[in-house]
């Protein structure tokens, strides 16, 4: 019998890689459900290719258009993730991949945990803002969680079921983005097109900007603290321009493990699917030119001032993480829309993140999705007022 799988966000970069893996191994897997926001044509091409019976289109206008255009197809078309509970039974799904963007991903994650034996999540906002909600459900339903971001999958692999109490230090690597060697005095002249030129990875605009400011790495530090239950003082960022080393874990028994792979998201996604069987993909050679010159360095906080936000983070889940995500989203969007310059974006993110009114959220623990959404709305309203 084929193993049932689900991909939420199947038309995005991560979703397409996941879909292609299942396409090549269609004798083992049966894709039961796909989702997209607006890419209707792409998702129906995917559904036709693998005979997927269920499709969720979250954008309402796109959903209405799809109902009219594809009504002759033998495919169930939905507009809400709430339908997932009605379609599938508990533990019916072998593997679910959640790679949709934004806090809207938290609700389907909580639903899928109950239905899935294994769940892979690359939805940063949910892991950062709603980890305590996710963790409770994972424990309750005994669902295996596999982090898919390359750094966290690397830590997950290096631990290999070892107790996190054995960790002395986790080192997360960062390429440094496009401005690693740019003179600080010229940062005022940075253009959007320059900030979007990541040297190693092809990513969406938002995450590419986050990578250039190092905020993306701050978020990954939060994720690592949540997922692996270690204090922030045990997590450190290292600059590694070639993006070949993805994580280093130093254990308190004297051993240190390093995980390396090409800067290609296929590798962690593939291994998140086949992690229990250790299936071997096509072999590639080690790049000894890179290994012999890793260029690992401590982060320069003057070049990347947003890395200093880490010292304000509480050593437990709180609503402050939601505050950070909201502040960052607000000012990155303004930069991408040419409303502020690069330096103003960085300064605005840092100054707002360290205001007492927002730091007070470190004492508040999110108890449900509505509380997280309420915090997002409040922070946005404050930022909008201060921008007028």
Quickly state the pLDDT bin for 188 (edges 50, 70, 90): confident
Classify the phi-psi angles of 295: left when phi > 0, otherwise alpha if psi is within -120 to 50, otherwise beta. Answer: left
Reported confidence tier of residue 277, pLDDT bands at 50, 70, 90:
low
pLDDT at position 280 over 60: no
Q: Model confidence over 311-351: pLDDT tens digits?
A: 999 999 999 999 999 999 999 999 999 999 999 999 999 99
pLDDT at 28 over 90: yes
Which pair of tokens denotes residue 249?
């874990």
Question: Whole-number mean pLDDT of the chain?
Answer: 93
User: Can you tell me the distance from the alpha carbon of 81 to that of 97, in angstroms, rounded to the nearest whole number?
Assistant: 14
Q: What pLDDT was estimated at residue 295?
A: 86
pLDDT at 214: 95
Residue given tokens 């890419």 in the structure block: 39
Do 276 and 216 touch, CB atoms closer than 8 A?
Answer: no
pLDDT category at 205 given cuts 50, 70, 90 is confident
Q: Do residues 173 and 261 make contact, with C-beta atoms less than 8 angstroms apart? A: no
DSSP of 242-300: T--EEEEEEETTS-EEEEE--S-THHHHHHHHSTTTT---------HHHHTT---EE--
Kindly report the pTM of this predicted structure.
0.93
Which DSSP category does 147 fall into?
E
Spatial contact of 131 and 317, defined as CB atoms under 8 Å apart: yes
State the Cα–Cα distance between residues 152 and 158, nearest whole angstrom.
10
DSSP β-bridge partners for residue 147? 121
* 277 close to 125: Cβ distance less than 8 angstroms: no
* R_g of the chain, CA atoms, integer Å: 21
Residue 165: strand, helix, or coil: helix
Nearest residue to 242 via CA among 270, 207, 200, 280? 200
Cβ of 84: how many Cβ atoms within 10 Å? 23
Token duo for residue 325? 């995500």
Residue 101 — φ and ψ, nearest 5°?
A: -100, 145
d(CA 138, CA 121): 12
Residue 201 binned pLDDT confidence (cut-offs 50, 70, 90): low
Stretch 51-61: mean pLDDT: 97
pLDDT at 279 over 70: no
Burial of 259 (0-12, 13-18, 19+ CB in 10 A): buried
Assess whether pLDDT exceeds 80 at residue 202: no
Judge residue 305's burial from the number of C-beta atoms within 10 Å of its C-beta, 0-12 exposed, 13-18 middle, 19 or more buried.
middle
Percent share of the chain, pLDDT over 70: 97
Confidence of residue 354 (pLDDT cuts 50, 70, 90): very high
**Virtual torsion, Cα 27, 153, 82, 26, nearest 10 deg:** -10
Q: In what order do the strands lie in the sheet with 245-251?
A: 256-260, 245-251, 167-174, 235-239, 297-298
C-alpha pair distances (Å), 77 with each of 65, 102, 110: 11, 22, 21
Q: What pLDDT, in 10s, does the model give residues 241-270?
A: 988 999 999 999 999 999 999 888 999 999
Q: What is the pLDDT of residue 282?
A: 58
Q: Could you tell me the two tokens for 348?
A: 């605005």
Count CB-CB contacts under 10 A for residue 191.
Answer: 10
pLDDT higher for 112 or 293? 112
Q: Which CATH number fits domain 3-147: 3.40.1280.10, 3.40.50.720, 3.40.50.10490, 3.40.50.300?
A: 3.40.50.720
Judged by average pLDDT, the poorest of 109-113, 198-202, 306-310 is 198-202
Distance (Å) of CA 79 to CA 34, 55, 95: 12, 9, 22
Q: Does the pLDDT at position 166 exceed 80?
A: yes
Maximum distance among all Cα pairs of the chain, rounded to whole angstroms? 63
- CATH 3.40.50.720 location in the chain: 3-147
62 is written with which tokens?
A: 């796109």
Report pLDDT digits (tens) over 77-94: 999 999 999 999 999 999
Contact call for residues 127 and 227 (beta carbons, < 8 A) = yes
């Amino acid at each position: 019998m084929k193993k049932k799988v689900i991909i939420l966000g199947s038309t995005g970069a991560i979703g397409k890689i996941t879909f292609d893996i299942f396409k090549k191994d269609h004798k083992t897997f049966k894709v039961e459900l796909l989702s997209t926001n607006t890419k209707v044509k792409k998702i129906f091409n995917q559904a036709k290719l693998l005979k997927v019976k269920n499709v969720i289109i979250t954008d309402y206008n796109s959903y209405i258009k799809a109902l009219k255009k594809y009504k002759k197809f033998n495919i169930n078309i939905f507009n809400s993730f709430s339908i997932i509970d009605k379609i599938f039974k508990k533990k019916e799904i072998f593997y679910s991949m959640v790679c949709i963007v934004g806090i809207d991903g938290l609700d389907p994650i909580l639903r899928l945990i109950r239905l899935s034996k294994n769940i892979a999540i690359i939805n940063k906002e949910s892991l950062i803002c709603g980890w305590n909600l996710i963790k409770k459900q994972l424990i309750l339903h005994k669902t295996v969680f596999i982090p898919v971001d390359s750094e966290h999958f690397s830590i997950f692999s290096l631990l290999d079921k070892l107790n996190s109490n054995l960790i002395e230090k986790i080192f997360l690597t960062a390429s440094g983005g496009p401005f690693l060697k740019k003179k600080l005095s010229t940062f005022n002249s940075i253009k959007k097109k320059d900030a979007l030129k990541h040297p190693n990875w092809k990513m969406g605009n938002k995450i590419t900007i986050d990578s250039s400011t190092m905020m993306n790495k701050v978020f990954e530090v939060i994720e690592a603290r949540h997922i692996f239950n270690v204090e922030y003082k045990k997590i450190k960022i290292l600059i590694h321009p070639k993006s070949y080393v993805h994580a280093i874990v130093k254990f308190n028994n004297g051993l240190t493990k390093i995980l390396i792979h090409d800067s290609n998201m296929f590798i962690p996604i593939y291994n998140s699917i086949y992690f229990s069987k250790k299936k071997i993909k096509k072999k590639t050679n080690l790049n000894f030119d890179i290994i012999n010159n890793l260029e690992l360095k401590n982060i320069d906080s003057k070049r990347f001032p947003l890395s200093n936000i880490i010292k304000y983070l509480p050593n437990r889940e709180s609503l402050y993480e939601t505050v950070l995500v909201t502040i960052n989203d607000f000012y990155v969007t303004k930069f991408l829309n040419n409303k502020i310059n690069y330096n103003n974006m960085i300064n605005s993110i840092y100054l707002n993140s360290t205001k007492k009114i927002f730091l007070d959220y470190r004492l508040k623990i999110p108890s449900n999705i509505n509380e997280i959404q309420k915090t997002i709305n409040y922070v946005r309203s404050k930022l909008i007022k201060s921008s007028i």
